[in-house]
Amino acid sequence: MTTSSSERGVSLGMPELPAPAYPDDVRARLETDAREIIARYPDSRSALLPLLHLVQSQEGHVTRTGMRFCADMLDLTTAEVTAVATFYSMYRRRPSGDYQVGVCTNTLCAVMGGDAIFESLQEHLGVGNGETTEDGKVTLEHIECNAACDFAPVVMVNWEFFDNQTPASVRRLVDDLRAGRTVTPTRGAPLCTFKETARILAGFPDERDGAVAAGGSAGPASLAGLKLAKGEATAARVVHPRDGGPHDAPQDRAAHDPSTTEHLSSHDAPQDTSASDPSHPAGPTAEEGE
């Protein structure tokens, strides 16, 4: 018994028409930016990744028109551009929100509460993974490790860090984003829209006041290995067991009880932080290297 193409869900219609071009004014502006990007590389095709960020900054996702533009500027086929754009998850293939809210659900963040946070946001926003709220403000997605395990569970908004989150704190976070209220990351630069973020990732200067100086920093636990590799002596820090039992410090080093302002490893959670305690304003929990 044979099955027809229609029963198999296979379309045998006309091939898809070529993507429409950008309006003349938009193309002229993008061409100026694209030439600046291409000039940075000895081989023009090396500029494809930043060019994809550039076209993403135009419409909030990489459209067929954007891929055609990249192909034209780099003398590539649209198939070559599509192969790259579909390989990397940082390029959105469909309309997305002003704020990309990514919940880390990799191992450590998951067991520290990331899975619960993601489930809570799905219910609160009424969207699934990769979907956008009806107002076009928030796109929710689960993401892989963000190299911030000492702040687990971590949520990122347009690639800016929100550390030590809880289901309640992230619900407040997305409510503030949708309401247009000012939201300050725990670390890093002030938030901007996803389109603005894409332009910065394309390699253009971030012209917001104080944004560069406010770049995100690693936490003390993340920097411990670097300090050891550099041969820098650090005082021993003894973290007492959760059960309050005895914990003997090495005889040749003095025990160090962390102060209330010192950031502990996420293994030592739970603790109130700027992200999880609404009575404290958002801000770094410690200076880099402290």
Pairing of strands 155-157, 99-104: antiparallel
Question: Which residue range is the domain that position 119 belongs to?
Answer: 99-190
Q: Give mean pLDDT, residues 202-217.
A: 76
pLDDT in tens, 64-118: 999 999 999 999 999 999 999 999 888 988 888 999 999 998 888 888 889 999 9
- Strands across the sheet with 99-104, in order? 131-132, 138-143, 99-104, 155-157, 160-162
**175 has pLDDT over 90:** yes
For residues 113 and 174, membership in a common domain is answered with: yes
Least confident among 153-162, 238-247, 258-267: 258-267
pLDDT in tens, 36-60: 999 999 999 899 999 999 999 999 9
Asked whether residue 76 is assigned to any structural domain, the reply reads yes
At 69, which CATH number? 1.10.10
Asked whether residue 34 is assigned to any structural domain, the reply reads yes
Q: Count how many domains the chain has.
A: 2
- Tell which of 63, 87, 111 closes a domain: 87
At 121, which CATH number? 3.40.30.10
Q: Report the alpha-carbon distance of residue 168 to residue 279 in Å, rounded.
A: 13
For residues 104 and 51, membership in a common domain is answered with: no
Give the number of other CB atoms < 10 A from CB of residue 119.
Answer: 13
For residues 162 and 115, membership in a common domain is answered with: yes
Q: Report the alpha-carbon distance of residue 173 to residue 179 in Å, rounded.
A: 10
Q: Report the alpha-carbon distance of residue 193 to residue 63 in Å, rounded.
A: 18
For residues 69 and 106, membership in a common domain is answered with: no
Query: What are 110's two structure tokens?
Result: 């998951």
For residues 132 and 157, membership in a common domain is answered with: yes
For residues 104 and 35, membership in a common domain is answered with: no
Instruction: Judge whether 173 and 216 are in contact, CB under 8 Å.
Output: no
Asked whether residue 130 is assigned to any structural domain, the reply reads yes
Q: Give mean pLDDT, residues 23-45.
A: 93
**258 has pLDDT over 80:** no
For residues 82 and 105, membership in a common domain is answered with: no
For residues 76 and 103, membership in a common domain is answered with: no
For residues 127 and 52, membership in a common domain is answered with: no
